[in-house]
Amino acid sequence: MTQTANTPKALDAFIARKAEIDAMLARLARLSDEHFNASPDEINWGHVGTLTHYAELLKRITDAAFREGEHAP
């Protein structure tokens, strides 16, 4: 199969993956808008730990996407 023949399939796969990412980002944005379903009167260090974990995972992604941190050239 030639490079030209592969391009439409690669483009379709790329668009499908992008749609998955967009959906996940939208869900995360909605959850963040709802303060990660935490009531201000009930916040404890467990909530902080959970958000710290989420932030660490997202930092790995943003570092890779923007070539920062350990992914910096």
pLDDT number for residue 2: 61
Instruction: Look up the domain containing 4 and give its range.
Output: 1-33
Total of domains in the chain: 2
Cα separations (Å) of 7 from 1, 13, 46? 10, 10, 47
Same structural domain, 51 and 71: yes
pLDDT number for residue 6: 80
Name residue, tokens 């869900």: 27
CB 50 within 8 A of CB 36: yes
Kindly report, residue by residue over 26-61, the tens digit of the pLDDT: 999 999 999 999 999 999 999 999 999 999 999 999
Average pLDDT for the chain: 94
pTM assigned to the model: 0.81
pLDDT number for residue 29: 98
- At 4, which amino acid appears? T
Same structural domain, 28 and 6: yes
Same structural domain, 43 and 71: yes
Same structural domain, 49 and 27: no
Q: Is the pLDDT of residue 15 over 80?
A: yes
Which residue in 38, 14, 18 sits closest to 26, CA to CA?
18
